[in-house]
A and B are shown apart, each in its own frame.
Chain A
Amino acid sequence: MDQVTSTTIIKAAALLGAGICMGFGAIGPGVGEGYAAGRACEGIARAPKEAGLLTRTMLIGQAVSESTGIYSLVVALLLIFVVGG
């Protein structure tokens, strides 16, 4: 094992934080976007003529749901690459 210096501990904590951040942060958008996709499929079954509109709406809604996942990604990348030099 390398010598455990202060920079290693900081780096290690930041990396652990990055993992927790992206790991848990991905749960919500995953579930939410899946639910949206499921309901969109149901909607298309009820109204096949509106498939284009429904797909577009689904993608807009999923994009908003994705935003917090992107925040988690950004924070995780900050923690991996910017912290600790």
Chain B
Amino acid sequence: MEVFWAEAIKYLSAGICMGFGAIGAGIGEGYTAGQTALGISRQPEASGQLVKTMLIGQAITETSGIFALVIAVLMISTNVGTEGDAVLNMAAVMGAGIAVGVAGFGVAIGVGYCAGRTCGGVARRPTIGGQVTGTMLVGQAVTETPVIFALVVAFILLYSAFSGGLEKAFGLLSAGIAMGFGAFGSGIGGGLPAGAACSVVARREEVRGQVLAMMLIGQAVTQTSAIFALVIAFLLIFAHGDGASMVKIAAFLGAGLSMGMGAIGAGIGTGMPAASACTAIRINERTSSVVMRVMLIGQAVAQSPAIGSLIVALFLLFVV
């Protein structure tokens, strides 16, 4: 297949990457701005501090959009993905664009939600604004990890020399789909407890240690979907596929779709109990051990569909 097809897909992928990557940052930053405006209406004297907090939170939300912009500009301006086998390049470039675009979408929503709740919290108690912002930065850092995974996968897809046939090409595309959509769910799910924790610290800073612990444990479980997706993405990137058998192509695509879409629900669904557990500490911190137990049980059950997706994806990769 001629090289110009690879070039054509490169530009299409750049558009998809930036298009999806911009959605989350827009929504997340707008939510933060809205919460800030509401907060200023409650505490006009704190407006300077609130705008500063808003800009910090929005800056971190912006990073997902910047990652998407960087990948898009790389695809438009450099000759990445035009040397070597055209079909493999097309698939790898499209996979990279989907991975960063969709991952950025989800992560920015989670990170932006956290920033918004933080501004709302700082408005209630401007004097402890520093502690709330500190909690926000920790929570946002964990929430960012899925888009970093996606960035790693994208760079591997764009800059490795692959060999194989049509099967390998669909494997590369599928890796991007798995990572992108897998990161989407964990991005939102990681942001939910982060936002709740910031809100709690603002109201009751004396339980900050406990709520931070609950937030981090809860967030750790939400990130498992993104880690499953990363594993499947790597397995797909390094799978062998020299032929063009329709069965193998379908298996690779199915593996990526299974893990990618399956991780969305678990990512968001494990985030909700984590957020509620953080809120529970505000309500009654003496129940924290019981709440943590129930949170973990609930999160485990919410994670199970994604484990099913992982198992199906592994079957499709290795048994078919």
Contact = CB atoms under 8 A, between A and B. Distances in A.
Given A6-B2, A36-B34, A28 B41 contact: no
A75 B76 contact: yes
A32 B29 contact: yes
A35 B31 contact: yes
A38 B72 CA distance: 32
Interface stretch (B4-12, B126-134, B200-208, B272-280): B4-12
Interface string A59-85: 011101111110110011011001100
Interface residues of A, number: 60
A37 B33 CA distance: 9
**Is the contact region of chain A dominated by helix, strand, or loop, or is it mixed?**
helix
A50 B16 CA distance: 41
Interface stretch (B20-28, B240-248, B296-304): B20-28
Given A44-B41, A64-B62, A39 B34 contact: yes
Given A9-B4, A67-B62, A40 B30 contact: no
B20 A24 contact: yes
Contacts of B27: 27-28, 31-32, 35
Interface residues of B, number: 53
Contact of A62 (B23, B33, B65): B33
Contacts of A64: 29, 33, 55, 58, 62
B26 A27 contact: yes
Contacts of A43: 37-38, 40-42
Interface of B: 2, 4-5, 7-9, 11-16, 18-38, 40-42, 44, 47, 50-51, 54-55, 58, 62, 65, 68-69, 72-73, 76, 105, 108, 112
20 contacts: A9-B8, A14-B8, A14-B15, A21-B16, A24-B23, A32-B30, A39-B34, A39-B35, A40-B34, A42-B41, A43-B38, A50-B40, A61-B34, A62-B30, A69-B22, A69-B26, A71-B22, A75-B72, A75-B76, A76-B15
